[in-house]
Amino acid sequence: MDKNFQEEITQIIKFKPPLYKQRHQFVKDLVEKYKPKKVADLGCADCSLLRMLKFCSCIEVLAGLDICANVMQEKMHTLSPLPVDYLQPSERSLTVTLHHGSVAHKDPCMLGFDLVTCIELIEHLEEPELKKFPEVVFGFMAPSIVVISTPNSEFNPLLPGVMLYRHPDHKFEWNQAQFQSWALETARCYDYSVEFTGVGHPPTGMEKAGFCTQIGVFIRKYPQTGGSVQSEKPTEAVYKTVFKAVYPSLKDEKYLQNAVISEVIFTAQIIKHRLMSKHKEYGDDPERKSKFQPSMDCFSDYLGKLVVEKNMEPFVSGNEVYIPLATIFSFPKVNRLCGTFEKLCKLIAGKVTLSSDGSAVIFNIEHENEEN
Ligand code: SAH
């Protein structure tokens, strides 16, 4: 290739965002499209893809596998829950696990996944490992979707400084025909369909080179027949688990209870505040009091509609304010958290001060009266 032309091309071939980010974004888009619950990333390296995927709210189980424990462990702490995850537990459950092992070996911890990603992995496999790879991933793990990305060697002449392979650890780099024939044969063998795409567009006029990173998206043709398939699979564990994080979730009764108690107290405080300001405004004048209508500004708009119903009206008696639980339960967030009124009662029992019949939250306003 003419040197000036090569230089010109080199100017053009600067991927924005960088290619690795485009590959990860590709996986994220796929997750958003298919909404898998369980995702495994094979050859996860520094866990950067897993770190991105943990924010996809459909995912409940995330697993990483790599043959190099050091590279995984370097940043694995970044997969741990943050303080904010404890302060505001998510509605979904999420478990993140990292395993040390090879994609050439079967381990039962890799069963039951919906999506398996192999991003820039296969070109790192020695020939015997590559031979075993399809049986492990497609035959044994058999997820609904497999994504495999690998360098497209036809693009290499367009990349600055690439002599043989793009990385010294690559054992091979395939052109488009080589990757596609391997992928089609693998898909045929294990009853998958495969579609080819990629990231990193070639420059105008050089479309024949194809994408810089070639990608195969494999979709399993037939659903797995649950139990029978599982029981045929070996159960001996060969991978070593090096990291496991269980995120706080509202599916866990302990976190749900905390969230419900906070929300109930918060809601009751707001209702009380509205009631007290009205109480102060109208004082004890029965005539003025009878004209009491909850004000219709933002929050009170909602409350106003509720108090029309009997037994749902908050009231003051002596030094105590009574906020009916039924009113609190009608608020969308409390309602969504608890699901049923019975569950609300169960979760706050003994944790929030209630009236003797248990139908209302009580606040003592003695000191508030004194202050005023
Ligand atoms: N998937 C990552 C990095 C790919 S680099 C990303 O998208 O950025 C390839 C990774 O595969 C390396 O971390 C390497 O340690 C790992 N690897 C190589 N051979 C493997 C094998 N047989 N089993 C599992 N992982 C392997």
> Looking at residue 137, what is its pLDDT?
98
- Distance between terminal CA atoms of the chain? 88
Phi first, then psi: what are they for 91, rounded to 5°? Answer: -75, -30
Q: Please state, in angstroms and as integers, the Cα–Cα distance from residue 268 to each residue in 310, 341, 354, following that order.
A: 18, 16, 12
Q: Nearest residue CA, atom 3 of ligand 1?
A: 45
> Looking at residue 292, what is its pLDDT?
41
Residue 28 CA to ligand 1 center (angstroms) comes to: 19
Burial 216-243 (b: 16+ CB within 10 A, else e): bbbebeeeeeeeeeeeeeeeeeebeebb
> Looking at residue 227, what is its pLDDT?
52
Nearest Cα to 65, choosing from 32, 35, 96?
96
Q: Nearest residue CA, atom 21 of ligand 1?
A: 102
> Looking at residue 2, what is its pLDDT?
43
> CB of 349 within 8 A of CB of 325?
no
Q: What is the pTM of this model?
A: 0.85
Strand partners, 127: none
Identity at 343, one-letter amino acid code: K
- Walking along the chain (372 residues) 10 residues at a time, the average pLDDT comes out as 47 82 98 98 98 97 98 95 94 97 97 98 98 97 98 92 90 98 98 98 92 98 69 81 97 95 95 82 52 46 55 86 95 95 96 94 80 49
Phi first, then psi: what are they for 196, rounded to 5°? Answer: -105, 140
- Classified as helix, coil or strand, 85 is helix
DSSP for 37-83, written as a single string: SEEEEET-TTSHHHHHHTT-TT-SEEEEEES-HHHHHHSGGGGSPPH
Sign (positive or negative) of CA dihedral 95, 96, 102, 103? positive
Alpha helices in 122-189 (DSSP H): 127-134, 176-189
> Looking at residue 3, what is its pLDDT?
45
Alpha-carbon span 352 to 170, nearest angstrom: 62
Nearest Cα to 22, choosing from 200, 150, 153?
200
**Beta pairing, strands 95-100 & 320-324:** unpaired
35 Ramachandran zone, left/alpha/beta (phi>0; psi -120 to 50): left
Q: Nearest residue CA, atom 18 of ligand 1?
A: 124
Alpha-carbon span 78 to 54, nearest angstrom: 11
Q: Nearest residue CA, atom 10 of ligand 1?
A: 43
> Looking at residue 12, what is its pLDDT?
56
DSSP code of 35? -
Residues having CB within 6 Å of any atom of ligand 1 = 20, 23, 42-45, 48-49, 65-68, 71, 102-104, 119-121, 124-125, 129
> Looking at residue 119, what is its pLDDT?
98
> CB of 115 within 8 A of CB of 147?
yes
Burial 340-356 (b: 16+ CB within 10 A, else e): eeeebeebbeeebebee
Residue 294 CA to ligand 1 center (angstroms) comes to: 63
Angle subtended at Cα 195 by Cα 51 and Cα 175, rounded to the nearest 5 degrees: 90
Q: Which residue has the tokens 């996944």?
A: 113
Most distant CA pair in the chain, distance: 96
All structural domains of the chain, each given as residue ranges with its CATH number in brackets, are 12-247 (3.40.50.150), 253-280+301-364 (no CATH)
**Where is 115: in which H helix or E strand?**
strand 115-119
Residue 41 CA to ligand 1 center (angstroms) comes to: 9
Ligand 1 pocket: which of 21, 46, 67 to mutate (most atoms within 8 A of CB): 67
